[in-house]
Amino acid sequence: MTLDEKIGQLAQVNAAGGHVPDHLRDAIREGRIGSVLNEVHVDTVNEIQRLAVHESRLGIPLLIGRDVIHGFTTVFPIPLGQAASWNPTLVEEGARIAAQEAAACGVNLTFAPMIDISRDPRWGRVAESLGEDPYLTGVLGAAMIRGFQGDDLARDGSIAACAKHFAGYGASESGRDYNTTNIPENELRNVYLPPFKAAVDAGVASLMTSFSDLDGVPASANTFLLKQVLRDEWHADAMVISDWESIKQLAVHGFTENDRESAYQAATAGVDMEMASTAYADHLASLVREGRISEPTVDAMVRNVLRVKFRLGLFDNAQTDAAAYAPAANADHLHAAYNAAVASAVLLKNDDWALPLHVESLDRIAVIGPLADDPYEQLGTWIFDGDAAHSRTILQSIREFVGERATVEFARGVQTTRSRSHEHVAEAVALAARSDVVILVLGEEAILSGEAHCRADITLPGAQQGLLEAVSATGTKVVLVLMAGRPLALELAVPHASAMLYAWHPGTMGGQAISDLLFGVVSPSGKLPVTFPRVTGQIPIYYAHKHTGKPATAESFIHMEDIEPRAHQVSVGNTSFHLDAGFTPLFPFGFGLSYSHVEYEHMQCSTAVLTMTGRITISADVVNVGPRPVEEVVQLYVRDLVGDVTRPVKELKAFTRVQLARGERRHVAFTLTARDLAFYGRAQRLIVEPGRFHVWIGGSSNPELRAEFTLVDDTAR
């Protein structure tokens, strides 16, 4: 390979449009391109590959990249919704189907999974994430990677995955996209990096660097992340790709003087491929000639790119036979999307068993709200290839389910989720007043979350709170269904609904899934993958917080309205809380109700003493004492009571799903070893410390049962 041909492999160019423009044709023939993104017309992709393989000197096929984030033609729930399923099998299946639909168009690389730990729901990209927890994100991210890549990347229907955004992007200051991140190394290692390590362990083919700077060094030029952690510590051989123009943006950050220096910094830090901008194409060759970058450095970058192409089997065949694939959005794919939408919905409130609805006892059903019958908005963010024509809306699905058994009437209430006008509220109120139940579908349109779509106030936007209150004031029972790309701050909404079902943006089959959930055809089993604040000002609020030296308790908390006028400065409890919001979330991580009631009993540890080489089994009985069958996500949390650095009050260490018939009791056991208790200490090395641990089993991060064990060092001489 000539130096220019090597540098060509490092270029990824945008090529949407369904045809091959002359400049692209020439660039491919001349070996100046290693990858294109955003071309999804299979004939065009095949032509692009033909040019690369047959008309360039070396015949190297191309990577064809696309954001296949939560489905392709068939849209699955947004990733945050999928995370609420706590179901790696479903998540893997969704990615598998997305990969097949994308591969049929010639796509061989997706920019997913996004595994940025997200503890700030103001950030629009929380929608794309798998939530706030490193362990859950790691497990589900690895499942997505398995789904996209299959056992063998060379097999038809497998596409290369890309773990993004490496690293720390989720900590964007004030939840404003692209903003600076400042994460102490210890927190980075204990919270933000573990999902990426899990992705590397799952064999992810590539990683994408983040737009953001981390402690002053942009991720796309971050030697610590890309060399020390990724290559030296983790021994990853995955390809590293920049984010869109993020190499060029190094100069915009004020980190480099110009594009040439940006190319230098990114290449020496370890970014193999440049997305969209041309700093490498324009400057790498002269940097090598000048001796500032060595040719072996470029060789290593090229090798990382070519390895992905080899793994994909592209050198054997780069052409796509679309006819060999099952049609997109076929019945099986839609069924899988339906299952995922069912599993992702979280029942947040259900007073007096308001749900499920019994159609026999209803004459008039009101369906109200701007998202009740919108085939597009229910799909959520990042649906470049999604087709709303396949969508099943809530209204449509309820009408089909109910048939002649009751009257179903619809009112939009407000024009969009953002409209401030109350013009149509009266009509919705009149409908509510003459109905037996209101199914009110509120939330956020798709465009209010996702990249660059952040909010400073995450309450229900527009006139929706007013609509909710007006409808609820009729006295008719209100079932509130929420579709949104983030946790909303719903403290003011809760009192006005008898039941609340959080559906995220549920995708193509969302309407049918929700209708079936509301009428009890299926039961809710989702659990929150992220903490729901009461008010925006509580952010960041997450379950795995530190204890602090002055932890708040129910006894120490005083609301500001209860403080006497002119009270002395030390009148309040001197513990860590907000005077106006307390210290607890509205709904905790891991929480979700069902149509039954589960109790936990008889928690046991197999031993009181765990050795460094031993194992401990922690178990409990899970009993379905409610009226219906249930699928429960049983969760295990641990607290390391004393650490070399302060440790979170709880950390998720394991979970499993159990299906219980009415009255059924099941013994559920988890096994831990010392490795599961490892963390990064002050020296930023992974350590396992002897000492006392609390352990909980339950159905949320406020678990019912607690036990204790001690870890002893039996290896010390």
Q: Decide whether 170 or 590 has the Cβ nearer to ligand BGC.
A: 170
Q: Is 567 exposed, middle or buried (0-12, 13-18, 19+ CB in 10 A)?
A: exposed
Q: What is the dihedral of CA 102, 108, 111, 113, to 10 degrees?
A: 80
CB 45 within 8 Å of CB 23: no
Task: Tell me how far apart the terminal alpha carbons of the chain are, to the nearest angstrom.
Answer: 56
Contacting residues toward ligand BGC, per CB under 6 A: 67, 111, 164, 243-244, 451
Least CB distance to ligand BGC at residue 199 (A): 15
CB 340 within 8 Å of CB 76: yes
Q: Decide whether 243 or 377 has the Cβ nearer to ligand BGC.
A: 243
**Residue 78: beta bridge partners?**
none
Q: Decide whether 373 or 451 has the Cβ nearer to ligand BGC.
A: 451
How far apart CA 450 and CA 167 sit, in angstroms, is: 18
How far apart CA 647 and CA 480 sit, in angstroms, is: 38
- Taking CB atoms, the residue at the shortest distance from ligand BGC is 111
Cα-flanking dihedrals φ and ψ of residue 705, to 5°?
A: -115, 140
Least CB distance to ligand BGC at residue 541 (A): 25
Q: Decide whether 111 or 135 has the Cβ nearer to ligand BGC.
A: 111
Q: Decide whether 209 or 416 has the Cβ nearer to ligand BGC.
A: 209
- Please tell me which residue in 120, 243, 272, 640 is annotated as part of the active site: 243
The overall longest dimension of the chain from CA atoms, in Å, is: 84
Least CB distance to ligand BGC at residue 244 (A): 4
Of 281, 199, 288, the residue nearest 240 (C-alpha): 199
Least CB distance to ligand BGC at residue 283 (A): 22
CA dist list (Å): 612 to 293, 430, 675: 46, 67, 8
The β-bridge relationship of strands 609-611 and 665-673 is: unpaired
Sign of the CA dihedral with 56 first, then 57, 59, and 60 last: negative
Tokens 């204890």 belong to residue: 547
Least CB distance to ligand BGC at residue 116 (A): 10
Least CB distance to ligand BGC at residue 456 (A): 21
How far apart CA 99 and CA 499 sit, in angstroms, is: 36
Specify whether 232 is catalytic: no
Q: Decide whether 244 or 591 has the Cβ nearer to ligand BGC.
A: 244
Q: Decide whether 165 or 189 has the Cβ nearer to ligand BGC.
A: 165
How far apart CA 491 and CA 514 sit, in angstroms, is: 23
How far apart CA 369 and CA 357 sit, in angstroms, is: 18
Of 136, 257, 297, 269, the residue nearest 207 (C-alpha): 269
Least CB distance to ligand BGC at residue 198 (A): 19
Question: Which residues are marked as active site?
Answer: 243
